[in-house]
Amino acid sequence: MKKVIMGNHALSYGAMLSRAQVIAAYPITPQTQVVELLSEMCADGTLNAKFIKVESEHSAMAACLGASLAGARTFTATSAQGLALMHEMLHWAAGGRMPVVMGNINRALAPGWSIWTDQNDSLSERDTGWIQFYCSSNQEVLDTVIQAFKVSEKVMIPSMIVLDAFALSHTYEVVDIPAQDKVDAYLPPFNPPFRLTPDDPHAFGGLTSPDHYMELRYKLQKDMEKVPLLVEETGREYEKMFGRYLGQVDAYLCEDAEFVFVTSGTAGYTARVAVDELREKGIKAGNLRIKLFRPFPFEKVRSILSRVPKVAVLDRNISYGHHGIFYQEVKSAMFGEPVQPTIFGFIAGLGGRDITRDSFKEIAEYALSKDKAEEEIVWIGVKK
């Protein structure tokens, strides 16, 4: 069934179709309509789940962890400052191997107060051990929630589905809503290898001496390394059942490209229009949209970019005192490769400033006119 829905509700429908059993959330700004619709679904019986209202995002994630540990499929959503408040509990989720799936609407962090998009909220949680997917359409958001439960529960690592504020969260698009029985066939009920139950008592998250802590972290990393292949497999399986492939990256006209934008989120969609315009002018451009950010899709990125002479990475985020974060990551992935592209780093769109076709035009003009970057950060659109 096709529906015209906003990105927030694409998350809600994804959680509903995945038959989430516990949803815990804090319902105030920067929260969005994701959990509003889910609370209505719980109230009218559309979704047979326990909806827990809590007093903060920290508590929201804590409630999700208890539920997940008890064996429930668990979902929540947040944004910006709310995600920052969850920070401690994000480490608990990944370190305790609880496969919660969460939607995060990319909103810029205060101060100054902002409800508009940029990626610093989710990228600040880069090293918590969560899987991160950056989406660029409402359809992809809905599909990825279902896929994320499958991936997360397989490796017992939580997933964050990330989407741009307003540009996706409040933008209405046509979304194909899969049939429940088909989703059930794709995503079996959650059956964790361990759980909190009086029938088989265990204590979780207790004191761990230097004898064992490092091994637990080694195991988390080893399982994280399995995720790219798992995303590939579950994405192909999804394609077979629903006709839409869900991959680690989305490469647009990269095969013969001499110049490639590296993008994420909705900017990755705008970039395709910019690529088409450059191609009309005879410039062999392409766009590599990184969807899976953690774990980083090293193999995909290397195989695509190693044959490209020039690469322009667009960041809607910044690591202060360093560079754009995707730029760092792409450079790190390409370092030591036998053939390396010239990589330029651009920062645009912080705090919700629009990233338009003209932004990409400016990026292309800069990168194509220079042999190497003259500055580590090329700012696009700053009023100097």
Partner 1 sequence: MSKKKESHKIVFNSEKEMPMAPMSLGSMLYNKTGAWRNIKPVIDLSRCIKCGICWKFCPDASIDIVDDWPQINYDYCKGCGICAEECPQKCIAMVEEEK
Q: Say if CB 133 and CB 144 are below 8 A apart.
A: yes
Q: Which of 51, 204, 245, 298 binds partner 1 (CB under 8 A)?
A: 204
Closest distance of CB 157 from partner 1, Å:
10
Size of the site for partner 1 (CB under 8 A): 21
- Selected range binding partner 1 among 179-187, 196-204, 232-240, 251-259, rule: CB under 8 A: 196-204
User: Which residue among 29, 208, 303, 332 contacts partner 1 (CB under 8 A)?
Assistant: 208
Q: Which is nearer to partner 1, 201 or 336 (CB)?
A: 201
In the complex with partner 1, the residue whose CB is nearer, 155 or 278, is 155
Question: Are the C-beta atoms of residues 133 and 289 closer than 8 Å to each other?
Answer: no
The reply to whether 210 sits near partner 1 by the rule CB under 8 A is no
- The count of C-alpha atoms lying within 13 angstroms of the C-alpha of 112, restricted to the half-sphere facing its C-beta, is 4
Per CB under 8 A, contacts with partner 1 among 3-22 are none
Nearer to partner 1, 96 or 381 (CB): 96
Q: Minimal distance in Å, beta carbon 70 to partner 1?
A: 13
- Closest CB to partner 1 among 172 and 194? 194
Q: Which is nearer to partner 1, 4 or 216 (CB)?
A: 216
Q: How far apart are CA 81 and CA 57, in angstroms?
A: 9
Q: Which helix (H) or strand (E) holds 216?
A: helix 213-224
The CB-of-153 to partner 1 minimum distance in angstroms stands at: 13
Contact at 8 Å (CB) between 139 and 244?
Answer: yes
Q: What is the 3-state secondary structure (H, E, C) of 156-173?
A: CCCEEEEEECCCCCCCEE
Read off the tokens for 115.
Answer: 């409800």
Confirm if 83 and 125 have CB atoms less than 8 A apart: yes
DSSP string, 33-50: HHHHHHHHHHHHTSS--E
The reply to whether 223 sits near partner 1 by the rule CB under 8 A is yes
Residues 144-173 that bind partner 1 (CB under 8 A): 156
Contact stretch for partner 1 (CB under 8 A) within 212-220, 261-269, 297-305, 359-367: 212-220
Closest listed residue to residue 54, CA positions, set 71, 72, 67: 67
Judged by CB under 8 A, the stretch of 33-41, 136-144, 160-168, 215-223 that binds partner 1 is 215-223
- Examine residue 27 and tell whether it contacts partner 1 (CB under 8 A): no
CB of 26 to partner 1, least distance (A): 24
Position 71 contacts partner 1 (CB under 8 A):
no
Query: Contact with partner 1 (CB under 8 A): which of 202, 322, 357, 370?
Result: 202
Q: How far is CA 65 from CA 97, 100, 101, 241, in A?
A: 9, 7, 11, 31
Does position 381 interact with partner 1 (CB under 8 A)? The reply is no
Ramachandran quadrant class, 14 (left: phi over 0; alpha: psi -120 to 50; beta: rest): alpha
- The burial class, CB within 10 Å (0-12 / 13-18 / 19+), for 342 is middle
| 27 vs 205, beta carbon nearer partner 1 | 205
Q: Would you count residue 199 as binding partner 1 (CB under 8 A)?
A: no
Does position 66 interact with partner 1 (CB under 8 A)? The reply is no
Answer yes or no whether residue 88 interacts with partner 1 by CB under 8 A. Answer: no
* Interaction residues for partner 1, span 90-149 (CB under 8 A): 95-97
CB of 211: closest distance to partner 1 in angstroms? 5
Cβ closest to partner 1, residue 207 vs residue 382: 207
Residue 380 in tokens: 């696009």
Query: How many Å separate Cα 25 from the centre of its chain?
Result: 19
Q: Whole-angstrom Cα distance, residue 77 to residue 88?
A: 16
Answer whether 326's CB lies under 8 Å from 264's CB: yes
Q: Does 201 bind partner 1 (CB under 8 A)?
A: yes
Contact between 70 and partner 1 per CB under 8 A = no
Whether the Cβ atoms of residue 292 and residue 324 lie closer than 8 Å to each other: no
Binding region for partner 1 (CB under 8 A): 95-97, 156, 193-194, 201-206, 208, 211-212, 215-216, 218-220, 223
